[in-house]
A and B are shown apart, each in its own frame.
Chain A
């Protein structure tokens, strides 16, 4: 993965700023390997601990598994959020981005997409592991489970990016970020867990629909709010 790839891709003009920033973040992550490796390792570790410590029986798996899976996703994701603006903290690069003529919401959008890519990669690894460890067999309901998982992940990334930016200059950021973030995530975590649980248990999608609506509403509201307030959050 090289910088010139993004230049070559845009044969008819300049790369859009959001794509350019996303490419930059992916390139930096590939070179630093700080977030993703830590997230993979921590996620797999948590699932193994849950599996061996809780001894979940097959008949109880559908009740407990969604909660345990999302606990792992949220903890690993929070670990990733600590590093999300790390490249911008070094050498005060965020200032350089704020000084440039791009719309400041573009910085937020590109970071959300970058965070989303990291989270999806994490889930691609830990989801099959979780499926195997907890002996889940509801193969026919996988698309619905993926839908709830994706909407929950989008909500996590949007709110997480916003709070990661909010705590950028704060002392004790590592403590402050989870303390502020986790209460805000309660609706999205609850809706995802309950939605997946209902789908796993009964496969009756109509019962799970209100949680789907809640997730969509949460994602739309916080995405819009993030785009609108990001400039105010990052400006000292």
Chain B
């Protein structure tokens, strides 16, 4: 599994959201995508998901351009965006059934019930998504990608709405994706959790890639690079 990004740029009118991004990710990588507000993190995630047409540059997934092999490749890409991508007036179970079928998966051994159970939503399976809290919606999104088993899982700012159990559920799933040879790219502002979880960190600033390093101990270069994004007075874990 290999993801190559070459010279990726995206502009909205005269404003550049991404400029000349080069990245090469391999199976098993868990990447923390960091940067201040407006750095281009979500734009990069959407471009990697094939939801944005780049202004220039190319994204290749196992050597195949995301444009050329789009329908087949899309079935292996997941975008976990808390509170998004769920129909409000379908129940939790109906949402999973819809996307399960759209991804041409045939249910066996109560997969869907099992995923809801694993996400701690078994008792809410018949509730409309509109009636769920933000944290429960995020858990439902996690259950969705647990079922669909993507090879590349893109995660957009997941920590804000999850409780402790939800964070454990998320990180277990992300580890499973990496263990099975997949790639995880997580955009987050929670630098402490990102530093603990990731195997590599990428920092964007005004659409440009300014930092890209594999994790090491000690990781002073990372700490100094992200220091300006951290809240005042927040100490690094010892």
Contact = CB atoms under 8 A, between A and B. Distances in A.
Interface in A8-23: 13-15, 17, 20
B51 to A, nearest CB: 6
From B78, B84, B98, B104, residue with most partner A Cβ within 10 Å = B98
Given A24-B98, A235-B53, A14 B85 contact: no
B87 A103 contact: no
B149 interface: no
Given A27-B90, A28-B90, A100-B103, A3 B51 contact: no
Contact of B53 (A96, A101, A236): A236
Interface residues of A, number: 28
Contacts of A38: none
A101 B90 contact: no
A98 interface: yes
B49 to A, nearest CB: 6
A95 B49 CA distance: 10
A204 to B, nearest CB: 49
A93 interface: yes
Contacts of B91: 3
6 contacts: A3-B90, A7-B101, A27-B90, A93-B86, A100-B74, A100-B102
B87 A24 contact: yes
Interface of A: 3, 7, 13-15, 17, 20, 24, 27-28, 31-32, 87, 90-93, 95-103, 235-236
Nearest to A101: B75
Contact of A87 (B50, B74, B87, B101): B87
B71 to A, nearest CB: 5
From B83, B86, B102, B129, residue with most partner A Cβ within 10 Å = B102
A101 B74 contact: yes
A31 B94 CA distance: 13
A101 B87 contact: no
B87 A93 contact: yes
Contact of A31 (B71, B79, B83, B89): B89
B104 A101 contact: yes
Contact of B85 (A87, A96, A103, A236): A96
A100 B91 CA distance: 19
Contacts of A99: 49-51, 74, 77-79, 85
Given A14-B101, A87-B87, A100-B102, A235 B94 contact: no
A20 B74 CA distance: 19
B51 A20 contact: no
A167 to B, nearest CB: 18
